Amino acid sequence: MVACHHAEALGKPTETDDTATSDRKPPTMPTHFFTAAGKFHRGNMHTHSIRSDGVLDPQEVCRRYHAEGYDFIALTDHFVGLFDYPITDTSNYRNDGFTTILGAELHTGAMGNGLIWHLLAIGLPADFNPPDAPDFISVDGSETGASIARRARDAGAFVAIAHPHWSRMTEADAQSITAAHAVEIYNHGCAIDNDRGESLMVLDHLLDQGRKVNLIATDDAHFNTPDHFGGWVMVKALENTPEALLAALKAGEYYSSQGPQIHDIRILDDKIQVDCSSCVTIIVQGKGTGTATLHGVSMTTGNLSRERLSDSPWLRVTVVDRAGKRAWSNPVWASG
């Protein structure tokens, strides 16, 4: 429990709770990883180098992320024949304070609009069998997006649907990727370069249909525009190792951010309590149009009623700071 509350709600007073933690009703939805052992590790999961269409060599990409305070990255060069199907080995650039997870941005087949699929695979084995994807133009009869996503997941990778808004992805396209762990709901490169960086609607449609899928924020950094250091994940793990991070990602033990921090989420029978870094807005979203919103000044704790969300099978939290930067929790499901 945060000792000092600074919430000043606009329009109505902010509810506070000064009771001891032991007196609260037990949460109806688990968010245990926020207070579990370990620490949060900051990482970017969508990055490119000269191994595909980025402008920096892999070592310099890693150096810059480490210098900016990141704990890890996944270098995800484009897995097409044009670049000799790279799964870029960054293991030599790990050190005591920084690690890397091998991965790639997979391409194959065609979506409903005829464009080739873009799927992130983090933790991909170096010998992953490539599809028939000689370039960024789809090949008739090549492997489907659903198939390569399933192969990647079965090979041990964390799989995410990349930038649905930029890809002009339909709801049917998104539904077809049943092996996805997550949807990329914020892509900083797409936001900076073409104002198509946010894809929360795709995520929420899947959640409303009962798909237990999480979300990630990323850079999609190529370093040829200001497409870097704008979106990341905060992964809770005991160690900053590829194995520990990958296991936590698959378990959903992380949140995504452009800057704000989420310290804890407690979902009780009648309300949602959120501890965070200083913010001006806290929003809880649920199925359909149900939301609960709290506006204030320099809030570090917020209490939001579950009245309009009592029947929602899932909830997720958005925190907005004074600069308009956001942090997003993964969906929390009533069924665990």
pLDDT of residue 336: 57
Per-residue b/e over 46-61, b at no fewer than 16 CB within 10 Å? bbbbbbbebebebeeb
Query: In this structure, which amino acid lies at residue 176?
Result: S
**Quick check: 161 pLDDT over 50?**
yes
Q: Hey, what CATH class is 21-32+261-333 in?
A: mainly beta
Can you tell me the mean pLDDT for 128-149?
Answer: 95
Give the start-to-end residue ranges of the domains of the chain: 21-32+261-333, 39-252
Task: Please state the φ and ψ torsions of residue 83, each to the nearest 5 degrees.
Answer: -110, 15
Whether residue 11 is predicted with pLDDT greater than 60 in this model: the reply is no
| 245 phi/psi in degrees, rounded to 5 | -65, -45
Task: Give me the pLDDT at residue 204, please.
Answer: 97
| pLDDT confidence band for 85 (50 / 70 / 90) | very high
3-state secondary structure (DSSP) of residue 148: helix
Six-digit token string for 314? 């899932």
Per-position DSSP letters for 47-67, written without gaps between them: B--TTTT-SS-HHHHHHHHHH
Residue 12 pLDDT > 90, yes or no?
no
| pLDDT tens, position by position, 135-145 | 999 999 999 99
pLDDT attached to residue 54: 98
Kindly tell me if the per-residue pLDDT of 304 is higher than 60: yes
Distances (CA, A) of 313 to 126, 145, 306: 38, 28, 12
* Percentage of residues in the chain having pLDDT higher than 70: 90
155 vs 32 pLDDT, higher one: 155
Average pLDDT of the residues in 15-21: 35
Round to whole Å and give the CA distance between 321 and 317: 13
Q: Which residues contact 70 (CB under 8 A, 6 or more apart)?
A: 42, 43, 44, 98, 232
| Phi/psi of residue 249, nearest 5 degrees | -60, -45
Question: Residue 44 above 90 pLDDT?
Answer: yes
Going by pLDDT thresholds of 50, 70 and 90, the confidence category of residue 29 is low
Instruction: Report d(CA 157, CA 169) in Å as an integer.
Output: 22
Q: What is the pLDDT of residues 215-265, one digit of tens each?
A: 999 999 999 999 999 999 999 999 999 999 999 999 999 999 999 999 999
334 band by pLDDT with thresholds 50, 70 and 90: confident
Gap between the Cα atoms of 46 and 199, Å rounded: 15
Query: For 20-41, b where at least 16 C-beta lie within 10 A, e where not — what string?
Result: eeeeeeebebebebbeeeeebb
How many residues would you count in the chain? 336
Q: Considering only residues 13 and 46, tell me which one the structure prediction assigns the higher pLDDT.
A: 46
Q: Around Cβ 135, how many Cβ atoms within 10 Å? A: 13
Looking at 3.40.50.620, 3.40.120.10, 3.40.50.10490, 3.20.20.140, the CATH number of the domain 39-252 comes to 3.20.20.140
Checking if the pLDDT of 191 tops 90, the result is: yes
Q: What is the 3-state secondary structure (H, E, C) of 17-39?
A: CCCCHHHCCCCCECCHHHCCCCE
Quote the CA–CA distance of 163 and 107 in Å, as a whole number: 13
Q: What is the pTM of this model?
A: 0.90
Structure tokens, 151: 């192969």
User: Who's near 195: CB < 8 A, 6+ residues apart?
Assistant: none
Residues 117 and 108: beta-carbon distance below 8 Å? yes
Residue showing tokens 């949602």: 272
* Residue 26 banded pLDDT, cuts 50, 70, 90: very low
Query: pLDDT-derived band of residue 19, with 50, 70 and 90 as boundaries?
Result: very low
